[in-house]
Each structure stands twice: as C-alpha cells, then as structure tokens.
Amino acid sequence: MSSSGATGQTEFPASMGKVSRRELASHGYTRFDQLTTVTAKELLKIHGVGPKAIRILGEELAERGLGFAE
C-alpha cells in the first residue's frame, strides 16, 4: 500500500492535491472501489481533477488490484 496516506473525508492520498480530493468528494467519490465504476476520461471532466490526479489514482487502484472502468 502507498505510504502517502489518506486524508480527511476520502481514502485518496494527499499527493494528488487538496482540490482534486475535494472535487471528487463533491461528486460522490470518496473510496477507491467507487472509481471502478467510472472511466479516467469521465473523471478528467471534473473541474480540478487533472492528469496528475488520474495517474496517482490509477497507481493506487492497481496496488489494490482494481482499475478504472473501461
């Protein structure tokens, strides 16, 4: 598991940035398992969620044996 640590209201690591975590939470995404129902492309449409956040989330999902929806 990642050593970056989860913060606040989500499981997502601090390394992806406060804005990204907040915006994902405002859209109902607070846990890694929820991200398996959405594509990376769909997440990129959320204001404040950029390529860096998607890369970090993808890596974290892979560590858990999960992935974004196809």
pLDDT tens readout for residues 4-24: 445 568 999 999 999 999 999
**Residue 8: its pLDDT value, please?**
60
What's the rounded mean pLDDT across residues 41-56?
98
**Residue 9: its pLDDT value, please?**
82
Residue 35 above 90 pLDDT?
Answer: yes
Residue 3 above 50 pLDDT?
Answer: no
Task: For residue 13, report the phi and psi dihedrals to the nearest 5 degrees.
Answer: -70, 150
Segments making up each domain of the chain, as ranges: 18-64
The whole model's pTM is what? 0.85
How far apart CA 60 and CA 68 sit, in angstroms, is 11
